[in-house]
Amino acid sequence: MPESNPLYIYNSLSRKKEVFEALNPPFVGMYVCGPTVYSDVHLGNVRSFLTFDVVYRYLTYLGYNVRYVRNITDVGHLLDDRDEGDDKIEKRARLEKIEPMEIVQKYTNGFHNTVNQFNLIPPSIEPTATGHIIEQIEMVQRIIKNGYAYEVNGSVYFNVKKYDEEHNYGELSGRKLDELLNQTRDELEGGHEKRFFADFAIWKKAAKDTIMKWDSPWGIGVPGWHLECSVMSTKYLGQAFDIHGGGMDLKFPHHECEIAQSIGADGVSPVKYWMHGNMLTVNGTKMSKSLGNSFLPEELISGDHPLLEKGYTPMTVRFFFLQANYKSTVDFSNEALQAAEKGLNRLMTAIDTLMQLTTSEQSNVDVDAIIKASKESMNDDFNTPTTIAHLFDGVKLINSINDNKNTINDADLKILQNHYNTFVFDILGLTKENSSSSNDELSDELMGLIIDLRNQSKENKDWSTADLIRDELKKLNISIKDTKDSSTWDYEK
């Protein structure tokens, strides 16, 4: 259980912060919508998965036993919300002229490689849609039995209108049926099979050329996209579980349909706390492939993109994401990424200094205040930007001790070292070896050479050159500190 203040989570269902109470403490069930493996994972995916990686890490730190389930969508993801068109995986398979399951394996491998680069902890369970076809058919049968679905020509549709009469379709997104586009059955394209425009497929009759298809009580077909998450989340976490996460774009219709399906099948609202991460923008504009301003993770790392001035390490990108609240949009720009890079370097340099501090018999610093502030900010809906600000307050303290302006004893030093190791590495998930885009040893050697040149200028009383070196380094956020016998350098915040 939390060590200090209660943990508050913003709940998309209630639209307010609530005190987190696990259904069966200390066990916590958390389900996060995973990737549809028909193409390379994009940065929006990375940010969403990173958000719940931190949630997982922090809940574990608080002492909860977390079962983290993140699915792989390897079938059933249709092209549009009208339940029409080709399965995306099969469409990509035709383009690449290989089997659909080769596409699945190829992009699942790529997804795992990407999340490993960003130091994401693997989930407790990573189920696939194709591995749970039987359970999906069984849920469709329960929904039909309870009167919330109907079969037409081998397809099964969820009856949204009937469900809304008895429950509240739209409770998560805040949408009302009468506010949505109002179409009648006759107005649907080509005399569509649906009885109501908002009805969605929970089982779809397979076209003749469909490769990935299964037998069912309604004929050969494929499961609807929304169905798999209702099935796999409740199978591994129970009919009602604690946290369901995903991107903001999944709130409607995907998560809305999940609620309806679970209630329609089992009469139980499945999730206690709904959490949604926000989207990415680039220089203030929505990130979009059509606008040419979207990045694949490897493009951001290599810098091989016309909008990038250079490449950035995975840890720089991770740190950049953590500097914004998960509910806020994140705006990509070279300036913001470079600032994140400098900030991360400064933090890691301070940690190196912390591990080598000289202690005194007494402390005149308040270590407990820094630790308390960090915990309070994380307890406030996983507020990573404020937590990072508190860690940088500690950086000032670390540097002041190193400069002999303050003192710290052995006991307090061990507490502070443990705090930074826990919050920076274990909770925020940063790593030192990937924290800089340049080789650290080379950077040290170059800075040593520059400082030697500056010292030589001072010895020659060439004050203008010495000042020029100092001023130019300052423009790069590198500060030079002169002492009686030598000079040192550090990154400025």
Is residue 323 a part of any domain in this protein?
Answer: yes
pLDDT, residue 283, reads 84
Greatest Cα pair distance in the chain = 92
pLDDT, residue 186, reads 44
Is residue 227 a part of any domain in this protein?
Answer: yes
pLDDT, residue 290, reads 65
Same domain as 299, residue 185: no
Same domain as 170, residue 47: yes
pLDDT, residue 158, reads 97
Same domain as 324, residue 303: yes
Same domain as 287, residue 272: no
Same domain as 150, residue 89: yes
* Of 77-81, 193-197, 387-391, minimum mean pLDDT range: 77-81
Whether 379 shows a pLDDT value over 60: the answer reads yes
pLDDT tens, 329-339?
Answer: 999 899 999 99
Q: Which of 277, 310, 335 is the last residue of a domain?
A: 277
Over residues 196-206, mean pLDDT: 94
pLDDT, residue 456, reads 85
Same domain as 32, residue 153: yes
Q: What is the mean pLDDT of the chain?
A: 90
pLDDT, residue 183, reads 46
Same domain as 264, residue 340: no
> 158 vs 448, which has greater pLDDT?
158
Distance CA 402, CA 452 (A): 22
Distance CA 169, CA 176 (A): 7
Over residues 17-44, mean pLDDT: 93
Asked whether the beta carbons of 76 and 228 are under 8 A apart, the reply is: yes
pLDDT, residue 25, reads 86
pLDDT, residue 187, reads 47
CATH number at residue 109: 3.40.50.620
Same domain as 191, residue 218: yes
Three-state secondary structure string covering the chain: CCCCCCCEEEECCCCEEEECCCCECCEEEEEECCCECCCCCCHHHHHHHHHHHHHHHHHHHCCCEEEEEECEECCCCCCCCCCCCCCHHHHHHHHHCCCHHHHHHHHHHHHHHHHHHCCCCCCCECCECHHHHHHHHHHHHHHHHCCCEEEECCEEEECHHHHHHHCCCCCCCCCCHHHCCCCCHHHCCCCCCCCCCCCEEEEEECCCCCCCCECCCCCCEEECHHHHHHHHHHHHHCCCEEEEEEEHHHHHHHHHHHHHHHHHHHCCCCEEEEEEECCEEECCEECCCCCCCCCCHHHHHHCCCCCCCCCCCHHHHHHHHHCCCCCCCEEECHHHHHHHHHHHHHHHHHHHHHCCCCCCCCCCCCHHHHHHHHHHHHHECCCHHHHHHHHHHHHHHHHHHHCCCCCCCHHHHHHHHHHHHHHHHHHCCCCCCCCCCCCHHHHHHHHHHHHHHHHHHHHCCCHHHHHHHHHHHHHCCEEEEECCCCEEEEECC
| 87 phi/psi in degrees, rounded to 5 | -60, 135
Is residue 1 a part of any domain in this protein?
Answer: no
Is residue 2 a part of any domain in this protein?
Answer: no
Please state the length of the chain: 493
Q: Which of 222, 253, 277 is the last residue of a domain?
A: 277
pLDDT tens, 389-399?
Answer: 999 999 999 99
> 287 vs 312, which has greater pLDDT?
312
pLDDT tens, 33-61?
Answer: 999 999 998 898 999 999 999 999 999 99
Is residue 236 a part of any domain in this protein?
Answer: yes
Is residue 434 a part of any domain in this protein?
Answer: no
Is residue 433 a part of any domain in this protein?
Answer: no
Rg of the chain over Cα atoms, rounded to whole angstroms, equals 27
Over residues 75-104, mean pLDDT: 76
Whether 270 shows a pLDDT value over 90: the answer reads yes
Q: 126: burial class by Cβ within 10 Å (0-12, 13-18, 19+)?
A: middle
Query: Percentage of residues in the chain with pLDDT exceeding 90?
Result: 71
Same domain as 286, residue 273: no
Whether 79 shows a pLDDT value over 50: the answer reads no
pLDDT tens, 238-269?
Answer: 999 999 999 999 999 999 999 999 999 999 99
482: Cβ contacts below 8 Å, ≥ 6 apart = none
Asked whether the beta carbons of 237 and 39 are under 8 A apart, the reply is: no
pLDDT, residue 434, reads 46
Query: Percentage of residues in the chain with pLDDT exceeding 70?
Result: 90
Q: Which of 372, 400, 427 is the last residue of a domain?
A: 427
pLDDT tens, 131-141?
Answer: 999 999 999 99
pLDDT tens, 448-478?
Answer: 888 888 888 888 888 888 888 888 888 777 8
Instruction: For residue 157, list its beta bridge partners.
Output: 150, 201
Is residue 128 a part of any domain in this protein?
Answer: yes
Same domain as 370, residue 453: no
> 348 vs 444, which has greater pLDDT?
348
Domain count along the chain? 3
Domain span holding position 456: 440-491
Whether 300 shows a pLDDT value over 70: the answer reads yes
Same domain as 350, residue 218: no
pLDDT, residue 251, reads 96
> 384 vs 442, which has greater pLDDT?
384
Over residues 154-177, mean pLDDT: 95
Asked whether the beta carbons of 236 and 289 are under 8 A apart, the reply is: no
Residue 190 binned pLDDT confidence (cut-offs 50, 70, 90): very low
pLDDT, residue 81, reads 44
pLDDT, residue 457, reads 86
| 369 phi/psi in degrees, rounded to 5 | -65, -40
Same domain as 460, residue 334: no
